[in-house]
Amino acid sequence: MKVILDSEQIEQILQDLTTQITSDTPPLLDIAVIGIRSRGEVIAQRLSSRLSRELGKDVPCGTLDITLYRDDLNSPQGNHQPRVRTTEIGFDIDDKIIILVDDVLHTGRSTRAAMDALIDLGRPKAIKLAVLVDRGGRELPIQADYAGYKSDAAPGELVQVSLMESDGEEQVVIE
Amino acid sequence: MASKRKNRLFKWHRKHLLGLRELSAEEITYILDTAKGFEQVSTRSVKKAPPLRGKVVVNLFFEDSTRTRNSFALAANRLSADIIEFTKKTSSVSKGETLLDTARNLEAMGIDIVVVRHNAGGASRLLSRNINACVVNAGDGFCEHPTQGLLDVYTIRKIKGTLNGLKIAIVGDIAHSRVARSDMWAMTKLGAEVTFVGPPTLMPTQVGRLPVKVSYDLDEVIDKVDVINMLRIQFERLGGNPFPSIREYSHYFGLTVERMKRAKSDILVMHPGPINRGLEMESEVADGQNSVILEQVTNGLAVRMAVLFLVNQAAAHTSR
């Protein structure tokens, strides 16, 4: 097990992501943050409060459950059974720039599922992808617009993000 | 390798839903929690999600139904499955084909889930032992109607927060009611105290063996319960004369405005439908503040989506 990010580095990355997103966002457009359950949800909440502060306006935050859109639901290899949870997005996503947030970008399959799920909720102006860690290994043509940290984890390795709100500690490890 | 996070290890493994009697409290709670995730599919702009895309669901109904049948059809549609509607009256059953032959022939067309309602108790179980598709019981004889039981406890849990410690009366034609039985199993497993109320002629013969209290006097119960579920008199199944007249039945066991005055102010009034207004329940009560009858129907859709989703998941991941 190797620690690749500690709490200070995570803090710095979130600040960098906030700065990048802020400088990219035209001031007149509405922006909202939506996190993919479950670690993406926590990062999205942190980003939304930082962005609200930075932009001086309320940046709403929602949570997306992508279970119903996964591509391995009916494949016998998908051995674990995903648990359906709720999507909680208390605002209209139409015509907003949506910052879609996940903890780790790997195959790109979760992102694909999340985009399909979002489109069923409305028609955003744009969807942009922000992740804490990009570990490579894509299986779909998907890239992050904002990647906090690029890691070169080997295919069999696991990049695990722990956050205070969900795990009681703050670090990213490869094991 | 992975440091085990506090992942709940519970796994749904049933590819059939035949009754609630055989389910644990944990399994029932898991279905209810899953249904919560399906509620929002019906409220957003695209009322459809893809998890059953390419699957075929058959509504195999040998008895009449409005709510259950349409609810299952809509649930299947919202999960992107294709649905075949089968009714006894327009099928070859009228030419003498048996239940099993009918099901096997439908299965030969490549179906994945059979939703079955039949007047014989155990019909869905018989089917589950003889075909490969998933089987969901939509009512069998006087035995069970599991999705009704689930949507009833879902509705109660949503409003009251929990079933644990609640007092619930189920009133009327208990003897002929599969709803009463499924309700009883689900409610008692989740910690509620259930009382069956009705005339002795409409009680099941072995009611003493069931995990319920029994009362023959609605007035004795009405002021003590948190939930009251009123059943329809199933005239089509009645033999003999279980009570002297409809008027007398309504007088003793009907939920009237007068009786409601003695009930707790936050009592939930439920009915599985169809209602015979003025018989088991006065219209003012059916449409009144405490009535959650239409919420039951709405919740039924989410619960049935969850059930179809889960049996299909079990079939996809645990089969041979």
Q: How many domains does chain A have?
A: 1
Low-confidence ranges of chain A (pLDDT < 70): 77-79
pLDDT the model gives residue B1: 33
The answer to whether A77 contacts chain B (CB < 8 Å) is no
B187 and B134 co-located in one domain: no
The answer to whether B43 contacts chain A (CB < 8 Å) is no
Q: What angle do CA A99, A150, A103 make, to 5 degrees?
A: 45
Question: What is the distance of C-alpha B46 from the center of its chain?
Answer: 27
pLDDT surpasses 70 at B82: yes
CATH number for position B280: 3.40.50.1370
pLDDT the model gives residue B318: 66
B277 phi, psi to nearest 5 deg: -60, 135
Query: Are B31 and B60 contacting, i.e. CB atoms less than 8 angstroms apart?
Result: no
pLDDT the model gives residue A77: 66
**B202 CA: distance to closest CA in chain A (Å):** 41
B304 and B215 co-located in one domain: no
Domain that holds residue A47: 2-20+30-71+84-174
Nearest-CA residue of chain A relative to B45?
Answer: A121
Residue A92 domain flag: yes
Residue B5 domain flag: no
Residue B3 domain flag: no
**Under an 8 A CB cutoff, do B48 and A120 touch?**
yes
Nearest-CA residue of chain B relative to A159?
Answer: B2
**B45 CA: distance to closest CA in chain A (Å):** 6
Lowest average pLDDT, out of A45-59, B93-107, B286-300, goes to: B93-107
Query: Are B301 and B75 contacting, i.e. CB atoms less than 8 angstroms apart?
Result: yes
pLDDT surpasses 90 at B317: no
**Under an 8 A CB cutoff, do B37 and A65 touch?**
yes
Nearest-CA residue of chain B relative to A64?
Answer: B37
The answer to whether B39 contacts chain A (CB < 8 Å) is yes
Residue B258 domain flag: yes
Helix (H) or strand (E) holding B253: helix B246-253
pLDDT band at B98 (very low <50, low <70, confident <90, very high): confident
The answer to whether A27 contacts chain B (CB < 8 Å) is no
Q: What is the mean pLDDT of residues B209-232?
A: 97
pLDDT surpasses 90 at B215: yes
| DSSP assignment string, A12-37 | HHHHHHHHHHHHHS-TTS-EEEEEET
Task: Out of B33, B44, B306, name the one closest to residue A120 (CB).
Answer: B44
pLDDT the model gives residue B304: 98
ipTM of the complex: 0.89
pLDDT the model gives residue B161: 98
pLDDT surpasses 60 at B320: no
Residue A130 domain flag: yes
Q: Tens digits of per-residue pLDDT, B138-194?
A: 999 999 999 999 999 999 999 999 999 999 999 999 999 999 999 999 999 999 999
The answer to whether B38 contacts chain A (CB < 8 Å) is yes
**A53 CA: distance to closest CA in chain B (Å):** 30
